[in-house]
Amino acid sequence: MTKERFRTFTWATLGVTLAVILWGAYVRASGSGAGCGSHWPTCNGEIIPRSPGAATIVEFTHRITSGLSGVMVLIQVVWAFLVLPRRHPARAGAAVSLFLMLNEGAVGAALVLFEHVAGDKSIARAAWTSLHLTNTFLLVAAITATAYWASGGRAPRFARQGRAAGLLLVGALALLLTGVSGAVTALGDTLFTSPTLARGIADDFSPTAHFLQQLRIIHPLLAMGTALFVLYARGPIAAERGDEAARWSRLLAGAVIAQLGLGMVNLALQAPVDLQIVHLLVADLVWVAFVLLGAAALGVPRPTAAEQA
Would you kindly state where each structural domain of the chain is located, as residue ranges? 1-125, 154-309
Q: Which of 289, 290, 174 is nearest to 221 (CA)?
A: 174
- pLDDT more than 70, % of the chain: 94
- The kind and range of the H/E element at 255 are helix 218-268
CB 197 within 8 A of CB 220: no
Average pLDDT over residues 212-222: 85
Residue 56, phi then psi, degrees to nearest 5 = -65, -40
pLDDT greater at residue 293 or residue 209: 293
3-state secondary structure of 43: strand
- What pLDDT is recorded for position 304? 47
* Statement: residue 17 has pLDDT above 50: yes
**Burial letters 158-186, b for 16+ CB under 10 A, else e:** eeebeebbebbeebbebbbbbbbbbbbbb
d(C-alpha 121, C-alpha 131), whole Å = 16
pLDDT greater at residue 30 or residue 80: 80
- What pLDDT is recorded for position 302? 54
The residues, any chain, with a CB within 8 Å of residue 228's CB and separated by 6 or more, are: none
- What pLDDT is recorded for position 309? 41
pLDDT greater at residue 296 or residue 33: 296
* Statement: residue 192 has pLDDT above 80: no
pLDDT greater at residue 88 or residue 268: 88
d(C-alpha 62, C-alpha 71), whole Å = 14
d(C-alpha 101, C-alpha 181), whole Å = 22
Residues β-bridged to residue 46: 43
Q: What is the pLDDT of residues 280-297, one digit of tens each?
A: 999 999 999 999 999 999
CB atoms within 10 A of CB 301: 13
* Helices 3-29 and 54-83, packing angle to 10 deg: 160
- In this prediction the pTM is 0.90
Q: What is the DSSP letter of 156?
A: P
Q: What is the pLDDT of residues 80-131, one digit of tens each?
A: 999 999 999 999 999 999 999 999 999 988 888 888 887 788 899 889 899 9
Amino acid at 51: S
Average pLDDT over residues 201-216: 76
d(C-alpha 104, C-alpha 96), whole Å = 12
d(C-alpha 173, C-alpha 115), whole Å = 29
Given CA atoms 116, 119, 123, 128 in this order, what sign does their dihedral have? positive
DSSP strands (E only) in the chain: none
Residue 43, phi then psi, degrees to nearest 5 = -115, 110
pLDDT greater at residue 215 or residue 133: 133
- What pLDDT is recorded for position 181? 92
